[in-house]
Every structure is written in C-alpha cells, then in structure tokens.
Amino acid sequence: MRGEALAQEVLRLKRERNAVILAHSYQLPEVEEVADFVGDSLGLAREAQRTRAEVIVFCGVHFMAETAAILNPEKTVLLPDLEAGCSLADSIRPEDVLAWKAKHPDGIVVAYVNTKAEVKALADVCVTSANAVEVVSQLPQDRPIYFVPDMFLGAHVARVTGRRLDLFPGECHVHAGIREEHLKALLEAHPGAEFLIHPECGCGSGCLYLKPDAKMLSTEGMVRYAKGAEAREFVVATEVGILHRLKKEAPEKAFFPVKPDAVCEYMKRITLEKVYLSLKEMRHVVRVPEEVARKARRALEAMVAVG
C-alpha cells in the first residue's frame, strides 16, 4: 500500500485501537497529515496528558515518546521506529548532572526536555524552548542553576533573563550547523523578510547582531507569529520540516529556509508505513522504569504547568 490507501488504513487502525497520533512539527508531511495533533514538545506533552485514547502513537524521537510514557503510565505509548533518537539527548549522561550537583548541593538543575528519562529524573524542573525563559526567570535568585544540555538555548535564556547559568556543552547537530554565513546570504536575498530563529541555533547571538529585529522563537512560536504577523515573507532558521506546517497554516505567505539541508535524520526515520506497522502490530512500546519515571514525572509536570 502507498499514498492515500495507506493513510486511510492508518486512520482505520487508529479508530480500531482507540489510538491518538501525535506528531512533531519536524515530521514528514504525510505523517503530519494523519496526526490528530501536530506541535512542539510542550504542546505534544500536554496533548498526551489530555487524551482519552488508550494508545498514543508518538511520531517524533525517543525522548518525546518517553515523556508521554512518563506522564501517562496507564496508557500504551508506541514509537514507530526505535532508532529515532536525538544527538542532543545522547550528549549528556546522568553522571554529568550528578557531578555538578555534588559541587553545588543547593543548586537547581534545569533540564531541557530533549534529554533521556534518567537525566530528567535528576532535574528539579524540565523546560522546552517555548517556556525556558519563563521558568528560569521564576527560579530563586540566590541559588546556582545548571542548564542542560543545549548550550545555545541556555545562552539565549541567560541573555534574556539576565541570570547566570552554568551550561552543559551540548548541541543539536542540525541547529548547530546553521551559521552566520547562511544568515548573511538570506539577508541579502530577502532584505524585507522577517527572520524567525530557533534558540537552539548556533548562530543565535550572531543573528541578532546581523538583524536586531529577528525573532527568537520555538517551533510553535514560529507558527503562531507567522500566522498573525503582517509580513508576507519569512526566513526560517530551524529544521526544515517546519516549512510544511507553516505553509499549510499561512498559505498566503512565503517561507525561506536559512539552510535547506537542515534535516534531522532521526525525525525523518518515522514514515507513514512505520506508523501503519506500529498500529497494526502494536510496536514499539516505550516503557520507563517506574523508579525513574516517578522522579522524572515531577520535573515534567512542573514544565507542563508553565507557559
């Protein structure tokens, strides 16, 4: 089966299994089209909590499916491809957090949601790119803060909040690959366009120097801003999967990727055929050990409650 026939079969199986399909905005267009909800990490976590479905098919990467499993221990969470990992989540180990905590017993660990469950279990609070600034701005002023694992997002949060943060030197390989020279080329080609920059990008501060009115936004923030803005052209600095959703939700506007080959190979491992097989065979179930899940759940529930 291919195309529309495969999509219809996915929808049939979804009803049969009493399932919900959640997809990140970086997913392939055909996967997004069968999803019940498409959004960023924060929105997806909230939808996972909200759903009455018995089965959650998570079209994203492994840490996202783990998050859904932690927040919904009574539901079955499926990840269509277990190899859909995350280079950023893989960059940090629990030992890294424990070493910092040993030196800062009164410190606060802020974990970006792009981490494995074992790291979340050691965190005081989790954040997404959509609410990291708000969460950090509300933390006690007299305690040290360790922001893990994305150093570029952490630098953005420190710049906006004025807080001193200890940063773990992690990065998303896709966003780190978006550099100033890419921005300069698009600035010359589209001088009247608005620039939408994801805070994970390695070019963040350089972009603000090149274009001071650039907007530093999460993926959901990009969609929301583009829909409401008067501008007709936008230069977008993030994984190119977002373009499908932007064009769908704001069809009268033009979007230009800063780096057309900014593709997350892990996100793209989820295909429509794999979604079909996941529903048909109930594979692959994502489980988190209860002791780890219990500790991580506290930090994730704090994240979901903010922003």
Residue 60 placed within a domain: yes
Per-residue pLDDT band at 3 (split at 50, 70, 90): confident
Segments forming the whole domain that contains residue 226: 178-257
Binding residues for iminosuccinate: 24, 41, 112-114, 129, 198-200, 219
Question: Same domain for 58 and 110?
Answer: no
Q: What is the pLDDT of residue 307?
A: 62
Please give the tally of structural domains in the chain: 3
Percent of the chain with pLDDT over 70: 99
Name the token pair of 203. 């070019």
CA-to-CA distance for 129 and 74, rounded, in angstroms? 28
Q: For residues 77 and 99, is the Cβ–Cβ distance under 8 A?
A: no
- φ, ψ at 96 (rounded to 5°): -65, -40
Q: For residues 121 and 98, is the Cβ–Cβ distance under 8 A?
A: no
Q: What is the pLDDT of residue 157?
A: 97
Residue 204 placed within a domain: yes
Binding residues for [4Fe-4S] cluster: 86, 172, 264
Binding residues: 24, 41, 86, 112-114, 129, 172, 198-200, 219, 264
Residue 262 placed within a domain: no
pTM, entire model: 0.93
Q: What is the pLDDT of residue 145?
A: 98
Structure-token match 């495969």, residue found: 6
Structure-token match 């989540």, residue found: 89
3-class SS at 270?
A: coil
Question: Same domain for 300 and 166?
Answer: yes
DSSP type of residue 284: -
Bridge partners of residue 78, in order along the sequence:
57, 285
DSSP type of residue 271: -
270-292: pLDDT as tens digits: 999 999 999 999 999 999 999 99
Residue 95 placed within a domain: yes
CATH number where 158 lies: 3.40.50.10800
